[in-house]
Structure formats: structure tokens, C-alpha cells
Amino acid sequence: MAFLYREPLERPGSRLRELIEKRDIIVAPGVYNPAVALLAERMGFEALYLSGAAITGSLAMPDLGLITLSELAKFTQYITRVVRVPVIVDADTGFGEAINVERTVRELERAGAAAIQIEDQVMPKKCGHLHGKALVSPEDMVKKIIAAVGAKRDALIIARTDARGVEGFESAVERAQLYIEAGADIIFPEALTSLEEFREFARRVKAPLLANMTEYGKTPYITVDQFREAGYKIVIFPVTTFRASLKASEKVLREIIESGTQRNILDQLYTRAEFYDLIGYHEYEARDAEISRKAEEVIRGRQSHAKG
């Protein structure tokens, strides 16, 4: 179905809440453009994660909170008008203090976000799996959560704590408990370092939990089944599709340099037919033909009117 003619998903936050209640676990792959989002939806993923790292990466920028709210809202809009599954939006530190967070939540919700994620780092924020992060005080984060919860209509508010890598595991648990009291719907403990830590966190933090299964970070490779058993409701693979597309591009670029043709790797490309099918290309042609038919009817009607 051509996305242009699809009705947008109404109340995406409620849809995500429903999935959290109905499913054992939700796998949300990271997406950074509408084509990848459409592909993931088609392959059966019931929720998507609009990753800050992947978006900024696609703009050839580091994940340091350099993009603006308007840019993120635009990315969100481009993606939510293509897919009908709920999209979780990574809003970094919320684009300012509590008062700014209100506006952030309003804008992103209006752009179609089902859930909005805010983290407790200071700016410039960093990837949660790096050294040298710093946190805002628990009070300042609580203010942001209160602001977010007060501003949302239907979206879920995800509070991410980066405390594990800065203040330690106990602090991550304490902050999470505080963030739940402030009204957060979902807790995202960033950069836990073992499956046992994920389990312990879930034993002590009573809210729907999101696990981040990113690559090359502080978290070892844990499967979806293991996260499910540990008590997690959502698992994100935030940057995997972005990294895969860069690697695939590198490969074909090398092939062109080395053999001067792509002929030998056509089986590794998404074909024209596959792509047209993905975006519903033929529906655009059909619509255009229908418009021409209607125009002809109008013209013919006028001519017969003139004759008569």
C-alpha cells in the first residue's frame, strides 16, 4: 500500500500501551529513514525505535545532541506518515530544561510519536555506552519527567537513566524508582553490563522496562528470549540497520572501484521491483491514470454540453 494513501495510526501511544499489555516482549529495531521503517514494518516488527544515534549518524554527525527539536520532529513526521506501527522517539535530554521538555513532548507527539524517551545526562550528551558521561541531578530529571507527563496527551514517557556508568548500579535503581514516582511510563536502564544486572534491575524496578541491545557497547550480547525471561517488555536494536547499510554501501562501492561494474553483485542489491513493491509505486501510477480518466470525463461532459 502506497504510504501516501494510508491513514495515519491514531493514538499511537495507546497502541504501544496495548502491545505492552498483550505481548510478552516487543522488539523495536532502530530506524533512521522512512524506507527502512517501512521495510521493518513489512517484516513484521510491531514497533520501531527512531534512534538519535542513527539519525545523527545518517547526517554524518556524532551522537552528541547536535540535532534540533525541529529536525527530530521532521524525521518523526517523515516516518510516522509512512508506517502504522508505533514509533518510539529518542529525544536525548529533551532539548533543554523542564519548560523546554513540555514543548518537545507536544511537538513530537504532534509529529506522531507513540513514546518519547528522555535521558538524565547533561549536555553535550553522549552515547550511553561511552566514558565521560555526566548526569543532571535527580531533582532536575524529575522536573523534566513531570513536565513531560503534564504535556503529553496519549504518548508514553520513557525515562532513561545513564547512572549505571557514572554513579553505579544502585544509583540507577534509585533514580529509576524516583522517575516512576514522577510519572514515567517506561524505564530504560542504559548500559547495564550483564544479564544478571538486567535481572536484578527488573526485580527491583517495578515498571515496564526497555532494554538497549546495541552493538560494540557495554552490554554483552543478550537475546530477546533472555530479555523476556529477565522481565523486559521492549528491546531495541537502535543502530543495527544503520551500521548494516553503511557496511553494505562500502562493499558495493569497493566492487565498483575494483571491477568497474556492479554486475557481479546484483543479487546483493534491493532490486527495482522489490523497492517499487515496498513503496507501492504502482499505486501512484494507478492514481494518476484515474485522475486522467476523471479529467477526460469532465472535458467530454463540457464538450457534449457545448454541443447540446
Ligand X SMILES: C[C@](O)(C(=O)O)[C@H](CC(=O)O)C(=O)O
Task: List the binding residues for Mg(2+).
Answer: 90, 92
Q: What mask, x for binding ligand X by CB under 6 A, covers residues 70 to 109?
A: --------------------x-------------------
d(CA 282, CA 77): 24
Q: Which does 214 bind (CB under 5 to 8 A by kind): Mg ion, ligand X, none?
A: ligand X
Q: How far is the CB of 6 from ligand X (least distance, A)?
A: 26
* Residue 59 DSSP code: T
For ligand X, the binding residues in 153-212 under the rule CB under 6 A are 212
Binding residues: 51-53, 90, 92, 127-128, 160, 190, 212-214, 243, 272
- H or E element in which residue 115 lies: strand 115-119
238 in contact with ligand X (CB under 6 A): yes
Pairing mode, if any, of strands 87-90 and 26-31?
unpaired
* Smallest separation (angstroms) from ligand X to the CB of 2: 29
Q: In what order do the strands lie in the sheet with 48-50?
A: 186-189, 156-161, 115-119, 87-90, 48-50, 26-31, 234-237, 210-212
Counting residues that bind ligand X (by CB under 6 A) gives: 15
Smaller CB separation from ligand X, 3 or 129: 129
Three cell numbers, residue 100: 523546554
Q: Which does 161 bind (CB under 5 to 8 A by kind): Mg ion, ligand X, none?
A: none
Residues in 1-40 at the binding interface with ligand X, rule: CB under 6 A: 30
- At 89, give phi and psi (nearest 5°): -110, 130
Residues 115-134 vs ligand X: string with x where CB under 6 A?
------------xxx-----
Task: Please choose which of Mg ion, ligand X, none residue 239 contacts, taking the beta carbon within 5 to 8 angstroms, the exact cut-off set by kind.
Answer: ligand X
Partnered with residue 7 across adjacent β-strands are none
User: Which amino acid is residue 121, in one-letter code?
Assistant: Q
User: What is the distance between the terminal CA atoms of the chain, rounded to a whole angstrom?
Assistant: 43
Closer CB to Mg ion, 14 or 240, in the complex: 240
Task: Find where cell 538497549 sits.
Answer: 212
Cα(226)–Cα(131) distance, rounded to whole angstroms? 26
Binding residues for substrate: 51-53, 127-128, 160, 190, 212-214, 243, 272
Q: Hey, what's the cell of 299?
A: 472535458
Q: Closest distance between ligand X and the C-beta of residue 54, in Å?
A: 6
Cell for 196? 544478571
Measured from the CB atom, the residue of 90 and 185 that comes closer to Mg ion is 90
Q: Are 98 and 144 in contact (CB under 8 A)?
A: yes
In sequence order, the β-bridge partners of residue 148 are none
From the CB of 286, what's the least distance to ligand X, in Å? 38
Site string for ligand X, 43-62 (x = CB under 6 A): --------xxxx--------
Q: Which residues bind ligand X (CB under 6 A)?
A: 30, 51-54, 63, 90, 127-129, 212, 214, 217, 238-239
